[in-house]
Chain A
Amino acid sequence: MTGDARAERPSGGEPIRVAMLINGYYPVVGGAERQLAAVAPALVARGLRVDVLTRRFPGLAPQENIEGVSVHRLPATGPKAVKSLTFTVAALRLLRRLRPDVLHAHDLYSPSTTALVAKRIFGTPVVVKVPRGGHLGDLARLRGRFLGHRRIAWLRRGVDRFVVISREIDAELDAAGVPPERRISIPNAVDTGRFAPLAPDRKAALRRALDLPEGPIVVYTGRLAPEKRLHDLVGIWPAVRAGCPGAQLVLVGSGDQAASLARAAGEGVSLPGPVLDVAPYLQAADLFVLPSSAEGLSNALLEAMSAGLACVATAVGAGPELIDPGENGWLIPAGEPEALRRAVLAALNEPQRRAAVGLRARERVASRYSLPVVAARFPELYRQVIVAAPGRTCGSSTS
């Protein structure tokens, strides 16, 4: 089933065993969780052995196999500090049994701390993914925490490779003193098969089924959180409808701002609430909007572009890397409702250009961000850090 020599350990023969450390895993959902839940089975398919160590949420089994990935949900109870400690202790006990070749942590907080303690004890190399950047990013928030600067220095010394998903995050790590040879850029992945454009007749049928109106539909998917600046979007909607009568804004998702957005929503704005699958909404829409003030590499934006939707997004996080303005989308500065209004209206009033833009958006995503393309990069990264790890018999110790 392997067929990929890179999936094997450098010493040959056996598959690479990787232990993923993350706060939540399917069915717990969030950006980072969804990414790992998509990539981990793809790694198993390439012949790696993947264990996921995550926190136990009530009602979920302690151990479960999800699409070939062994998911271990470890107890983490009590107040915040105690919670992290109990998780670390439980993780160390399990890692002693699993003996992975490499540890891969999925944020800079507790999972990284646990991974570095494990490295101290077992000598296992550590890869850390930095999922968020900007003023709400992992580094910024870590600085504000207890012993934050000490923890950053510790990460800088101990982590073998940082995986960055945008140039913005790469620059932040550079500024924090992480040398370039320990930073590697591997973007988030999107399932381009599931998020694919529909034929016009299917799209029309889907709209009827979702109770969406006939006119132009602008969609947002994701958490209804303050940093997404959705109130700006709802605020400009009367003006958008003045320039494009009948335009419908659909905010798909749930979150803290659900109630306040519902109150603010006027004519032509609807909130269908949380849905299991956002794909149909993307496939039924004409335009996607992401007015966030901060992002890493937005899953929602990747999915929308993959579905062949033209997108208006703010130039934050990986936005500028995904979108070449005017070519495969529209980029606007963050926090400027007037620019947002102009871009949305421009996109809505030029249907032909919008279709061409959507097509190129899908091409961009398919070539660089599809699941097979992204998953193929991890086995090589793991081999590099395993070979370089001191105390390993299988490779030269270079560090």
Chain B
Amino acid sequence: MRIFYVIDSLKIGGAEMLLLAMVRRYLRLDHQIQVAYFSEGPLHDELTELGVPVHRISRRGLADPRALFRLLALLRRERPEVVHTHLRKSDLLGQPAAAIAGTRVRVSSIHNEDPWRRNKLLTLIHRVCTGRCQKVIAVSREAGEFLVETGTYPAEKIVSIDNGIDLERFDPERVVPADKTTLWGLEPGDPAIGIVGRLEPQKGHHVLLEAAAIVVREMPGARFVIVGDGPLRPELEAQRARLGLEEHVVFAGISRDVPATLAALDVVVSSSLWEGLPLTLLEAMAMAKPLVCTAVGGVRSLLEDGRTGVVVAPGDPEALSRGLLRLLGDPREAARLGARAAATVRESYSEETMHERILDVYRSLQTGEARECV
């Protein structure tokens, strides 16, 4: 199949990494792949090394009136059988371009429950632009429901395909834990609670810090490891100082080896205020980590409270701290939750299954259209 992906950026992010893994697999299955994008990033070289032609649509994003024509010209020249768009700008531009160019299969992936979709006008604009898209892949069932609820797409267009991860990389039996003493300055016996993700408002780090203040009152040995970096770092460091948590909270920076980092943690937290189906959560589950997560997006159907993790209300430091203390106070129960979480991921969230299901979507649309023509 000739597949043409359109994505907003080639930076390192969830949607982008999913795309890269998909491209790798489909190349191995002998499909022909091309990628068009807006913002430059490190994945450019990775794609080029895989032999994938990459095209920059525009440096100026949607503000560039020539972007549409450039993409159209590309699609007319390359004549892909499938156009699959990822993220907002690419949906808005890629879907109409594919429809005008007459591409047979037009698919979009929705990676987040973006709060802006609650705005009726923005959603209307989005709906008009992407109206000719045939199938919308939502990264979780909740993300799909959210799209229906906000009036972005009708239910029959939406198919939920859960994110999957590379289970070989996140194998608790193989991965050697990072050395938490040299890396984070923790004592070997300190319980380490970690969060992995960019420091931006969506991830709710400020709620976690509030919760940490409550936790250390009960359990002074508890240590929080904040893995990642981002624009909120100075603000969060100031909050840490205000709460008097310098001794208890480590800003570890970006991790070069997420599996080893997860392996070194005793409990993993997600304090996100909104999410699709966060990959870092699946990765933590695969590593058999006990989890405390806020009930947002795909997390709600992924984790069963009290069986595969602890699920708490978003934006509530009190509830988050209770969840953490519950797991920290009962390591055996925590280990049981972790083991069940790992089993869940191994059963239903492998990368291979996800890729196969996405290919099925392409194939069904291809043959479906062909029948209509006869």
Contact = CB atoms under 8 A, between A and B. Distances in A.
Interface of A: 1, 26-28, 37, 41-42, 45, 57-61, 64-69, 193-194, 196, 198, 202, 206, 209-210, 254-255, 258-259, 273-274, 276-277, 280, 283, 372
Nearest to A255: B49
A59 B183 contact: no
Contact of A66 (B39, B46, B229, B233): B229
Interface string B213-257: 000000000000000010001000000000000000001111111
A210 B174 CA distance: 14
Given A45-B183, A254-B50, A255-B49, A67 B169 contact: no
Given A67-B254, A202-B174, A59 B229 contact: no
B173 A202 contact: yes
Interface residues of B, number: 37
Given A69-B253, A258-B51, 4 more contacts: A59-B12, A60-B11, A60-B42, A258-B49
B253 A65 contact: yes
A67 B183 contact: yes
B169 A277 contact: yes
B67 interface: no
A66 B256 contact: yes
Contact of A64 (B10, B44, B176, B254): B254
A198 B174 contact: yes
Nearest to A69: B253
A59 B9 contact: yes
Given A59-B40, A194-B257, A67 B252 contact: yes
B190 interface: no
Contacts of A274: 46, 49-50
B41 A68 contact: no
Interface in B144-186: 167-169, 173-174, 176, 179, 181-183, 185
Contact of A28 (B42, B51, B251): B42
A202 B173 CA distance: 8
A258 B12 CA distance: 24
B10 A59 contact: yes
B11 A66 contact: no
Interface centre among A26, A59, A198, A255 (most CB of B within 10 A): A59
Contacts of A254: 49-50
Contacts of B185: 1, 45
Interface string B239-282: 00000000000011111110010000000000000000000000
Contact of A67 (B42, B44, B256): B256
B46 A68 contact: no
A210 B168 CA distance: 8
Contacts of B256: 26, 37, 66-67
26 contacts: A37-B256, A45-B183, A57-B42, A58-B40, A58-B42, A58-B44, A59-B9, A59-B12, A59-B43, A61-B229, A64-B253, A65-B233, A65-B254, A66-B254, A66-B256, A67-B183, A67-B256, A68-B253, A69-B253, A198-B174, A202-B173, A206-B174, A209-B167, A210-B168, A254-B50, A259-B51
A26 to B, nearest CB: 6
B49 A193 contact: no
B168 A42 contact: no
Interface of B: 9-12, 24, 27, 39-44, 46, 49-51, 167-169, 173-174, 176, 179, 181-183, 185, 229, 233, 251-257, 260
Contacts of A68: 183, 252-253
Given A67-B252, A254-B50, A258-B49, A276 B42 contact: no
Nearest to B256: A26
A145 to B, nearest CB: 25
Contact of B176 (A196, A202, A372): A196
B255 A67 contact: yes
A382 to B, nearest CB: 18
B306 to A, nearest CB: 31
A59 B42 CA distance: 6
B291 to A, nearest CB: 23
For the complex of A and B, the 6 pairs showing the least CB-CB separation, nearest first, are A59-B41, A58-B40, A65-B253, A1-B185, A45-B182, A254-B49
A254 B233 CA distance: 35
B35 to A, nearest CB: 14
Contacts of A26: 254, 256
Contact of A27 (B42, B50, B168, B229): B42
B279 to A, nearest CB: 13
Contacts of A283: 174
A1 B186 CA distance: 8
Nearest to A68: B253
Nearest to A59: B41
A58 B46 contact: no
B15 to A, nearest CB: 14
Nearest to B41: A59
Contacts of B252: 67-68
A192 B253 CA distance: 22
Contact of B182 (A42, A57, A59, A194): A42
Nearest to B255: A67
B174 A59 contact: no
A209 B233 contact: no
A283 B181 CA distance: 26
Contacts of B9: 59
Nearest to A45: B182
B253 A194 contact: no
Nearest to A195: B176
A273 B50 contact: yes
A209 B255 CA distance: 25
B87 to A, nearest CB: 14
A166 B253 CA distance: 32
Contacts of B176: 193-194, 196
Contacts of A194: 176, 257, 260
B10 to A, nearest CB: 6
Contacts of B167: 209
A210 B167 CA distance: 11
Nearest to B178: A193
Interface centre among B169, B251, B256, B260 (most CB of A within 10 A): B256
